[in-house]
Amino acid sequence: MVLGLTHAGAEDWARMRALQYGRLFEATKLKVASHALAAVASIWLFRDVAPLSMIFGWALLLGTVVAYGARVDLAMHDVTRHKLNAQEFRRQVEIAALTGLVWVAPVAWFTLHAPDSARLELWAILALLLTVSAVIIPAAPMATVAFAGTVGLPVICGFVLTGALPMALITCLFVATIMLGTIETSRHFLMSRLGEAGVAERNEVVSLLLGEYEEGDADWLWETDTNRRVRAVSRRFAYALGMEVSEIDGQPFVQLLAGAAWANGRFHPSMHDLAERLKRRERFANLPVQVVVRGEKRWWELSGQPRFDEAGDYAGFHGVGSDVTQARASSEKIAWLARYDTLTGLPNRMMLTEALGEAMLYAEQWRTRCAFLMIDLDRFKAVNDTLGHLIGDQLLARVSDRLKSLMSETELCGRLGGDEFAVVIRDASDLSRVSRMAQAVIDRLSEPYTVESHTLFVGASVGAAIGPRDGGSVEELMRNADLALYRAKDGGGGQQCMYEPALLAQAEERRKIEFAMRHALDRNEFHLVFQPVVDTGDEAVVSFEALLRWENPELGTISPAKFVPVAEDTRLIVPIGDWVMKQACIQATQWPRHVKVAVNVSGEQLVDANFHNCVVSALAMANLPAQRLEIEVTESIFLRDAAGARLALERIMALGCSVALDDFGTGYSSLGYIRKLRFSTIKLDRSFVQGAAVGNRESLAVARAVVAMADSLEMATTAEGVETEAELALVRKLGCTKIQGYYYGRPMAAAETLTLFQKDRRKAG
């Protein structure tokens, strides 16, 4: 084992040889010196008995072999790192044997040629050399044994041959002693090397551990005694606590970490967790603990395990810790971002969904109800489009502040996206409370806002759904609240609507309409009807309004009030509107030259890039002068893309077409665009006409104002929806220029319009 001849597993063998031979280079210098000395002494012995050339040749040979051996030894310098391989080991032994053989040469020569005294002197020199190598090179026992063997054996033989038997015996003993002694010394040497290596290895582990933890400047080792008091405080640990080592040593661990909060007992729950584990002597890893360092809350991650003394008794805890405040802050930030809306700071859709899920569970558990309110701002788009996103964003932030101020403990508001908000009401056992909340939201959000010196008016519509009554799942409840919201918005905004199953049926119908409408043009299901507009003065027809009709084999006759909004939402209104435009123009050519045709155009059509082309080609195809085409638009077109809509209208006007403002008074009452665009006619909505006729003062006031304004802007006015004699009298008194209504004629088929002129002619004739 010590010699390196037995193999205790290749890995161990190499490692052990490395431990031995690693020290060899230290002895090499001494070895070379001792050989040189022995050589000089031998040469002095030879000087008279041997020829000079032989002495010189031998010295050269010895020098070469020893030098080579020294080189091999020095090459093993770093052997502790790479471990000694068998080849290196063998080479080392071979060289030792070779060196021995070189020394044997003079022995052989002397035995034959020299006197006994000289032979004894040479042997004394060799014995010294053997002793020296045995003593100074315990690192390489096998080499020494080989050397002693190769030298000793011929010497013994020499003594035997010359009859010096006692000398042979003594030499035998000497060589044996040297060999055994070498092996024994080497064993000790190896043992101590192994011991050293063990210590080093342990040190390595410790420094590795320390290195790893001390490297990052926030990590440290900690240790407590059986009383959970801090012991063996490291500087780093003290630094992490923002204290001196002396202040900390012997302090209760948990109390140290909790800081001032310890006294009032208001420390973070994580501290209880830690204390509990220490008490139970339970090992823990990466336990997050909120500590207080210099009055500042920080997050630490602690790992620890109980330690035991030699007798196996519990001696306290030890472990490592690190400050993870920063990492935690960023992961908290990420978690926050995932659950909150960055613009308003309100919970986002994800968190609202979660909250609704919890509210539904709660409702199920306690057999109560929860509610989900969906809120949509009215006219927000107009603000965004006219004043820009920066103002829009600020407005949204104000809206959220107001919304938040309305919430109690059991309600949570959030932003679903865009101008859509929502409220989760955990306890909706009292249904009137839900509608009170909805109304409060509408009222509060409808109050004017001041953002960067702009006074802004936006309203809100609310749709509500009650769980579990209106839906068993979060998705269903949200969808139904959305349906209710849709209905509320449909009503013109500023309203709340509670979900009812009929809404689902309507939504279903809407879906059906949408589906059927996709093929309606191809299947020729559309046709136009025309309603006459007469001059107030002479009651002569001045124009017809083209009104779209749709007859579907399955759905029957569907009112435009129902299908036009669907067509607008799906943008199917663009190809449909194109068809209407062409049909209307064609029909107009059948009427007298002074009779115009009015065509309703939706906002979606106006902002369509192809709208101008559509008008031009319709006029060209029908060969109708542009002056005979009137486009009817409502105020709603200015809500979306006001600039785009205005531009489109100006291009149509440039062709010679006129533009009428439809349903006036019902929409977004900002009069700015009336001054900017030269409308030919303002159509007073039917509701004012009928309202004023039954004595509604407000309707009358609006009607008067509209007529006065139109007059001052030199625009014509058309009173819509005149059905009765009384209404007719009223609009005459108001001074409207034109009248449209059942009183003069219902929307009629194309062919029927022609009979009107025949009657006219008959009347005139």
- The residues that touch ligand C2E, with contacts defined as CB under 6 A, are 531, 547-548, 559-561, 564, 573, 577, 580, 600-602, 632, 662-663, 686, 721-723, 740-742, 747
Q: From Ca ion, ligand C2E, none, which one binds at residue 223 (CB under 5 to 8 Å depending on kind)?
A: none
* Candidate residues 600, 605, 658, 753; the one interacting with Ca ion per rule CB under 5 A: 600
Number of H helices, E strands in the chain: 31, 21
- Look at the chain and count its residues: 765
Which of residues 3 and 584 has its CB atom nearest to ligand C2E in the complex?
584
Q: What is residue 377's three-state secondary structure?
A: strand
Give 259-267's long-range contacts (Cβ < 8 A, gap of 24+): 259/291, 259/292, 259/293, 259/295, 260/292, 260/295, 261/292, 267/292
- Determine, following the binding rule CB under 5 A, whether residue 301 of this chain makes contact with Ca ion: no
Closest separation between CB of residue 417 and ligand C2E, Å? 29
Residue with tokens 């001792």: 34
Closest separation between CB of residue 685 and ligand C2E, Å? 8
Q: From ligand C2E, Ca ion, none, which one binds at residue 559 (CB under 5 to 8 Å depending on kind)?
A: ligand C2E
Question: How many residues in the shown chain lie near Ca ion by CB under 5 A?
Answer: 5
- Piece of 83-91, 477-485, 596-604, 613-621 that binds Ca ion (CB under 5 A): 596-604
55-to-124, 307, 357 alpha-carbon distances in Å: 19, 71, 105
Q: From Ca ion, ligand C2E, none, which one binds at residue 536 (CB under 5 to 8 Å depending on kind)?
A: none
Closest separation between CB of residue 606 and Ca ion, Å? 14
Closest separation between CB of residue 662 and Ca ion, Å? 4
519 phi, psi to nearest 5 deg:
-110, 0
Closest separation between CB of residue 721 and ligand C2E, Å? 4
| Residues 378, 460 contacting (CB under 8 angstroms) | yes
Which of residues 98 and 719 has its CB atom nearest to Ca ion in the complex?
719
Q: Which letter, b or e, does each residue of 51-86 get, where b requires 16 or more Cβ atoms within 10 Å of its Cβ?
A: eeeebeebbeebeebbeebbebbeebeebbeebbee
**Of 319, 314, 289, the residue nearest 209 (C-alpha):** 319
Which of residues 376 and 632 has its CB atom nearest to ligand C2E in the complex?
632
* Gap between the Cα atoms of 682 and 680, Å rounded: 7
- Piece of 180-188, 223-231, 355-363, 712-720 that binds Ca ion (CB under 5 A): 712-720
**Of 516, 344, 525, the residue nearest 418 (C-alpha):** 344
Which of residues 222 and 688 has its CB atom nearest to Ca ion in the complex?
688
Please list the residues that pair with 371 across neighbouring strands.
425, 466
Which of residues 561 and 764 has its CB atom nearest to ligand C2E in the complex?
561
- Determine, following the binding rule CB under 5 A, whether residue 635 of this chain makes contact with Ca ion: no
Which of residues 21 and 688 has its CB atom nearest to ligand C2E in the complex?
688
Which of residues 369 and 686 has its CB atom nearest to ligand C2E in the complex?
686
Closest separation between CB of residue 392 and Ca ion, Å? 30
Q: From Ca ion, ligand C2E, none, which one binds at residue 630 (CB under 5 to 8 Å depending on kind)?
A: none
Which of residues 234 and 506 has its CB atom nearest to ligand C2E in the complex?
506
* Gap between the Cα atoms of 267 and 257, Å rounded: 10
- Piece of 155-163, 501-509, 592-600, 727-735 that binds Ca ion (CB under 5 A): 592-600
547 phi, psi to nearest 5 deg:
-125, 135
Q: From ligand C2E, Ca ion, none, which one binds at residue 718 (CB under 5 to 8 Å depending on kind)?
A: none
| Residues 372, 465 contacting (CB under 8 angstroms) | yes
Closest separation between CB of residue 713 and ligand C2E, Å? 21
Closest separation between CB of residue 414 and ligand C2E, Å? 36
Closest separation between CB of residue 716 and Ca ion, Å? 15
Which of residues 147 and 526 has its CB atom nearest to ligand C2E in the complex?
526
CA 410 to chain centre: 30
E strand or H helix that includes residue 706 = helix 697-712
Closest separation between CB of residue 740 and ligand C2E, Å? 6
Q: From Ca ion, ligand C2E, none, which one binds at residue 531 (CB under 5 to 8 Å depending on kind)?
A: ligand C2E
Q: From ligand C2E, Ca ion, none, which one binds at residue 564 (CB under 5 to 8 Å depending on kind)?
A: ligand C2E
- Positions 642 through 671 that interact with Ca ion (CB under 5 A): 662-663
Q: From ligand C2E, Ca ion, none, which one binds at residue 363 (CB under 5 to 8 Å depending on kind)?
A: none
- Piece of 267-275, 323-331, 704-712, 720-728 that binds Ca ion (CB under 5 A): 720-728
Enter the DSSP assignment of 224: B
- Determine, following the binding rule CB under 5 A, whether residue 376 of this chain makes contact with Ca ion: no
Which of residues 102 and 576 has its CB atom nearest to ligand C2E in the complex?
576
Closest separation between CB of residue 545 and Ca ion, Å? 6
Which of residues 292 and 534 has its CB atom nearest to ligand C2E in the complex?
534
Closest separation between CB of residue 365 and ligand C2E, Å? 49
* Gap between the Cα atoms of 79 and 77, Å rounded: 6
Closest separation between CB of residue 599 and ligand C2E, Å? 7
Which of residues 223 and 632 has its CB atom nearest to ligand C2E in the complex?
632
Maximum distance among all alpha carbons in the chain?
175
**Of 686, 640, 642, the residue nearest 663 (C-alpha):** 686
- Determine, following the binding rule CB under 5 A, whether residue 632 of this chain makes contact with Ca ion: yes
Closest separation between CB of residue 513 and ligand C2E, Å? 14
Q: From Ca ion, ligand C2E, none, which one binds at residue 547 (CB under 5 to 8 Å depending on kind)?
A: ligand C2E
Which of residues 228 and 732 has its CB atom nearest to ligand C2E in the complex?
732
Rg (CA), the chain: 53
* Gap between the Cα atoms of 594 and 588, Å rounded: 10
Amino acid at 415: R
* Gap between the Cα atoms of 114 and 364, Å rounded: 118
* Gap between the Cα atoms of 632 and 615, Å rounded: 13
Helix H segments across 491-593? Answer: 501-520, 560-569, 573-588
Q: From ligand C2E, Ca ion, none, which one binds at residue 125 (CB under 5 to 8 Å depending on kind)?
A: none
394-to-347, 450, 735 alpha-carbon distances in Å: 17, 10, 45
Phi-psi region of 295 (alpha: psi -120 to 50; beta: other; left: phi over 0): left
CA 19 to chain centre: 53
Closest separation between CB of residue 666 and Ca ion, Å? 9
Q: From Ca ion, ligand C2E, none, which one binds at residue 764 (CB under 5 to 8 Å depending on kind)?
A: none
139 phi, psi to nearest 5 deg:
-65, -30
Q: From ligand C2E, Ca ion, none, which one binds at residue 336 (CB under 5 to 8 Å depending on kind)?
A: none
Q: From Ca ion, ligand C2E, none, which one binds at residue 439 (CB under 5 to 8 Å depending on kind)?
A: none
Establish how many alpha carbons lie within 13 A of residue 473's alpha carbon, considering only the half-sphere containing its beta carbon. Answer: 3
Enter the DSSP assignment of 631: E
Binding region for Ca ion (CB under 5 A): 600, 632, 662-663, 720
